[in-house]
Amino acid sequence: MVLGMINEIQQYLDARYIGPPEAAWRIFGHPLHAKMPTVIRLALHLPGIHRVVFNPEESLETIQSRVGQQMSTLTGFFAYCASSEDECPFTYQEFPQHYSEAQQTDSQISIDCLNNGQRNAYNIITSSVFQNKGVVFFLNGGAGTGKTFLYNTITLKCRNLGHIVITVASSGIASLLLVRGRTAHSTFSIPLDVLGNSNCGLSKQSLQAELFRETKLIIWDEVPMQHRHCVEAVDRTLRDICDSDKPFGGITVVLGGDFRQILPVIPKGIREQIVNASLRHSVLWKHIHILTLDLNMRLNHEDRENANFANFFMEITLL
C-alpha cells in the first residue's frame, strides 16, 4: 500500500526506458505517432461565421483583414465549384479524397524541380498513363540521379487526377521512400520459391484483383535485384486478371533501378546463373522501353574532378 500523494507523472519518468532505436528515432526528428487512415474534419457554417484563430494582442483591424482572406474547407469547396468550368463530380464529403489544394501545389512544385532528363521521362510516362497506352518502361539511373524523386512526382500527379497508382519496391527499405510504397512480394503475393512457371497467389475474383483491373500505373523500384521469375510471375498474373495478352495486362509499368548495384542473389550460384536470373534475360525485356537518367544530383558539378568521376562511373556499364 502506497501512502501519500501518488505522482503518476513522476512514476512514469522514473520507470521509463529509452532504447537505442527510440533514441535514434527521436534524434532524427521522426514522428512518434500517426493516424491511419487520415481523418479530416469538414467545416459546416453560415456565411462569414467560420472558426478563426487569432492573437488577442493584435489589433481588431488586422484580425478582420486577415479573416476576410481565410477560407474554410466549406468555402474552399464552393470556390472550386464556382471556378471550375465542368460540374464537380464529387460531393462535399467525397471531395477531400480526390482533391486538395496542398497536394496540387507538394505535386506542381515537384514538377517544376525536375531536370531535363527527369522531365523527359515524366512526359513520356504520364503520356502513356493518360492515353492508356500500357507501355512498359525501365528507368535506368545510378544512385543520386533522382529516380525516387521522379517516381513520387509522377505518383502524386496521377493520384491527384483520380488515377490508381501502385508503388512497390523489391526491398522494404526502398519501399519506405515511395509514396504509400510496399514491397513487391506483399502487394502481388509473389511466391517465396518462385519458378519459371509460377503465378502470384491472387484470385481473379478477389478485391485485390479488382484493384489491379482499375490500376493505371505500377511503379516497381529496385527491380535489378529481383529474380526475373518474380517479374514474369506478376506479368502472367496481371494478364490473366485483366484478360489481356499485353505485357502486365495493358497497365503502364515503370520498372527502375541500376544494374551496377546488387543483382539477384543466387545461393552458391556461379556468374552465368546470376546473369541468367537478371531481368535483362527475361522474355519481357524486348517489350521494355528504356529511359535513362545520367545527371547525378548529389554532386557539385562545378568541381571538374567530381564531374569527370561521375561521367566515368556512368560509362562503366551501359544498357
What is the Cα–Cα distance from 238 to 202, expressed in whole angstroms?
10
Q: What does the pLDDT read at residue 38?
A: 64
Measured from the Cβ of residue 82, the count of other Cβ atoms closer than 10 Å reads: 8
Closest CA relative to residue 235, chosen from 105, 136, 147: 136
Dihedral through CA 221, CA 157, CA 242, CA 238, nearest 10?
A: 0
C-alpha cell at 163: 488515377
Q: Check if the beta carbon of residue 106 is closer than 8 Å to that of residue 156.
A: yes
C-alpha cell at 218: 505500377
Q: What does the pLDDT read at residue 98?
A: 67
DSSP string, the chain: ---S---HHHHHHHH----HHHHHHHHTT--S---SS---PPP---TT-------TTS-HHHHHHHHTT---HHHHHHHHHHH-SSPP-S-TTTHHHH--HHHH---HHHHHT--HHHHHHHHHHHHHHHTT---EEEEEE-TTS-HHHHHHHHHHHHHHTT-EEEEEESSHHHHTTSTT-EEHHHHHT--SS--TT---S--TTSHHHHHHHHEEEEEEESGGGS-HHHHHHHHHHHHHHHT--SGGGG-EEEEEE-TTSPPPP-TT--HHHHHHTSGGGSTTGGGEEEEEE---TTS-TTSHHHHHHHHHHHHSS--
Q: Check if the beta carbon of residue 103 is closer than 8 Å to that of residue 156.
A: yes
Can you list the domains of the chain with their CATH numbers? 60-99 (no CATH), 108-315 (3.40.50.300)
Q: What does the pLDDT read at residue 1?
A: 42
Q: Check if the beta carbon of residue 277 is closer than 8 Å to that of residue 286.
A: no
C-alpha cell at 160: 491527384
Query: Which residues does 94 contact at the CB level (< 8 Å), separation at least 6?
Result: none
What is the Cα–Cα distance from 172 to 164, expressed in whole angstroms?
21
DSSP collapsed to 3 states, 150-161 = HHHHHHHHHHHC
> What residue has cell string 560509362?
315
Q: What is the mean pLDDT of each run of 10 residues along the chain (319 residues)?
A: 68 76 83 68 84 82 77 84 78 74 64 89 95 94 87 91 92 88 92 89 90 95 93 95 94 92 85 90 93 79 73 63
> Global pTM?
0.68
